[in-house]
Amino acid sequence: MKILHVVTLHTPDHAFGGPTRVALNLSKVQRAGGDDARIMALGDGFEGRLPCEVEGVPVHLFPARHLLPMFEVSGITSGALLLAARRMMRGADLVHVHLMRDLVTLPAALLALASRTPLVVQTHGMVDPTEKRVAQLTDLLGVRKVLRQADAVLHLTETERLDVNAVAAPVPLTRTVRLVNGVRPQERKPAREPGRPPTVLFLARIQERKRPEDFVAAMPMVLAEYPDARFVLAGPDTGALPGTLELARRLGVMDSLDHVGPLDHEEVLEAGRQADVYVLPSIEEPLGVSVLEAMSVGTPVIITRTCGLGPDVAAAGAGRVIDSRVGEDGRNALKVAAAIVDLLGPEANDRAGQAAWDLVNADFTIEVVTRTLRRTYEDVVRRKGRRVKPSSPHGT
């Protein structure tokens, strides 16, 4: 099957995060199974020519034109990308659009509808009811049409399904399919060697919604119990890094904090192996790939109740799920710190680490996810009355 994934952006430091990582993970497994899966996106931040391949997956990248800078990622586009997408869709069996309110994935989805190419859309928690006028206009001009007419709409959680239905109203969505994020199975890491200082990891985009300041604000309380603990702050800065580092300076904990910046995929897994606890105090995190990657190597996690993985982690005992309500000081430092101290205990750490590893291998491997997705693809193509073309490179 010839599958074209359309996602908004790819950068050298993976600053766009989850949607691009999901598209890459799915494409790798699909190609290993004999499908011709590839990715189309904007490329930004590269020196020299844009890559034609990322992690073994063919990619069609086009220079990002920052048409509306005030809207950040939602305001970038490329006329050349949209022309190429229209051409490539004619040779594709199915288009999988990782949809958001932007000038890349939304017009690409509309092109797929116009060409009558089987269309699957996945919103990654990025399309929900909003009071923002520009977003409401975008919904009126195209998002609702895409959600109503797509052959399948993938959702991560029941909350996302309800949100997408609310945006698409008044027509109810009857072709929704739950598809969780998945990661590659990994060997479980060994227990921390005696005498090695404990390590606590925050690995995500450094942005306000991820609440890296909660991570830093918890440090003094953890250091009171574990004076030699190391705290690793990893991920690309998308606006919150200066304030986070300034907070660390004010609290006097800079000597215990390692800011390592963005990491590639193998470095992400290695950081998870080196960590004893992974912390993501994010608000409204749909279903974090970085959380799954930490658990895939046997690292217990601390997440909030508004994370889509909260019920799974709580039920499995794969870490700690804390309240996401912001306290009077604007942070959840006490809750984060208490959970870290709890999970740094050897018995609790080993038990939660094993549960985390078991949970990923039972329910969240990329192989499990792609089997569900394959059935969805086949159903969509069959309903469209299409015959799958032999797998060979797409037209360019």
Query: Over the stretch 59-91, which tens digit does the pLDDT of each residue have?
Result: 999 999 998 888 888 899 999 999 999 999 999
Q: Above pLDDT 70, what percent of the chain?
A: 95
For residue 71, what pLDDT is reported?
85
| pLDDT above 90 (res 324) | no
Greater confidence (286 vs 183) lies with: 183
| 3-class secondary structure per residue, the chain | CEEEEEEEEECCCCCCCHHHHHHHHHHHHHHHCCCEEEEEEEECCCCCCCCCEECCEEEEEEECEECCHHHHHHHEECHHHHHHHHHHHCCCCEEEEECCCCCCHHHHHHHHHHHCCCEEEECCCCCCCCCCHHHHHHHHHHHHHHHHHCCEEEECCHHHHHHHHHHHCCCCCCCEEECCCCECCCCCCCCCCCCCCCEEEEECCECHHHCHHHHHHCHHHHHHHCCCCEEEEECCECCCHHHHHHHHHHHCCHHHEEEEECCCHHHHHHHHHHCCEEEECCCCCCCCHHHHHHHHCCCCEEEECCCCCHHHHHHHCCEEEECCCCCCCCCCHHHHHHHHHHHHCHHHHHHHHHHHHHHHHHHCEHHHHHHHHHHHHHHHHHHCCCCCCCCCCCCC
| pLDDT above 50 (res 394) | no
Same fold flag, 2-182+365-383 and 199-363: yes
Cα(238)–Cα(101) distance, integer angstroms: 19
Under CATH, which number does the domain 199-363 receive? 3.40.50.2000
Q: Which residues contact 290 (CB under 8 A, 6 or more apart)?
A: 203, 204, 268, 278, 280
**Model pLDDT for residues 114-159, shown as the tens digit of each residue:** 999 999 999 998 999 999 999 999 999 999 999 999 999 999 888 8
Average of pLDDT values for 199-208? 95
Average of pLDDT values for 286-306? 94
**Model pLDDT for residues 227-249, shown as the tens digit of each residue:** 999 999 999 998 899 999 999 99
Q: Above pLDDT 90, what percent of the chain?
A: 76
Report residue 390's pLDDT band, with 50, 70 and 90 as the boundaries: low
Greater confidence (182 vs 324) lies with: 182
| pLDDT above 80 (res 346) | yes
| pLDDT above 60 (res 328) | no
For residue 396, what pLDDT is reported?
40
Average of pLDDT values for 5-33? 90
The structural architecture, per CATH, of the domain 2-182+365-383 is 3-Layer(aba) Sandwich (3.40)
For residue 331, what pLDDT is reported?
56
For residue 221, what pLDDT is reported?
97
Average of pLDDT values for 184-199? 91
Q: Indicate the pTM of the whole model.
A: 0.78
For residue 12, whether the previous peptide bond is cis, meaning omega lies within 30 degrees of 0, is: no
What does the domain layout of the chain look like in residue ranges? Answer: 2-182+365-383, 199-363
